[in-house]
Every structure is written in structure tokens, then in C-alpha cells.
Amino acid sequence: MGQRSGDLATLAAGRHAELGLHARVTVTDAAHVRDREIKAAVPGQRPPRLTRDPGRPVIVIDKFPPYANTDEIIRSIVDRARGHDWHSRHPELGALTRLPIKDVADLTNARGGYWFACLPADGTPPEVLRDQLLKVHGVSIYT
């Protein structure tokens, strides 16, 4: 499991508190992703495009909250990374909802658990994308 947030002292005192469970969202480099991916790869599988430049920053998402639907999470991330025709009609809303991602790879396997890698769009600081990914439902769950 990833990280937790919230006011546990308030909850322990019997008062209402908002608690959050968060996947681990890490900024690393493509070389780290490639090393991890190759160790877990199916024989003969090609590495994802995002590992071509080993020094390029990559965001890795793993250690999801319990009961998180990883299929829905990856679909949501991919959908929010794509440009939609309504973005040109509503640029302010598009800027708020679109994720600046150049490439996404689902590197999940049976032995290593669920994990995704996202390549930030050119000019996007990886920390900015990391913070945006933490707001995707399923990556973070609040109760």
C-alpha cells in the first residue's frame, strides 16, 4: 500500500476526519524504469518507448490503495492525456483537466504487481505532473 494522509488524532478522538490513501507516485528516470521493466518483462517483450532516453524524467505510479481499480485508473490517465476537440472551445477547462503526458505505459505483470509509468510532455516539470497524478481518482482515495 502507498501512503496515508489525514488527521488520525481527530479520528481517534471520535470526531469526523477526512483520511486519504495514496498510491506511491515517484519521479525517477527512464533508466530506472527500464531496469525494473526488463527484470519483470515477459521474454521477447519490447521495452516501452519511454525508456529510449535513459536520463529523461519519468513518473512511476505503484502501491495503489486497496480496492483501487487499476484498469479504470489507467483509462482515466490516458483519457486525460489525450487532446479532445472541446479543449479548443474551452481552453481554461482543458488546461485544468488535461494531463501533460507524452507517453503512458502499463508495466503491470503477474509477479511485480500493478505499476504505470508516465513520460511528462516536453516542457512539463515532472513534479508538476506528479502532483496532478495524485489528484486522479484511484491514485488517491479519500474517505
Q: Which domains does the chain have, with CATH numbers?
A: 22-142 (3.30.1360.40)
Q: Render pLDDT for 30-89 as a digit per residue (tens, 0 to 9).
A: 877 766 665 544 445 555 566 667 788 999 999 999 888 999 999 999 988 887 777 678
Contacts of 56 (CB under 8 A, 6+ apart): 29, 30, 50, 119
Round to whole Å and give the CA distance between 125 and 24: 18
Q: Render pLDDT for 96-138 as a digit per residue (tens, 0 to 9).
A: 778 999 988 888 875 567 889 999 999 999 999 999 999 999 9
Per-residue pLDDT at 47 = 52
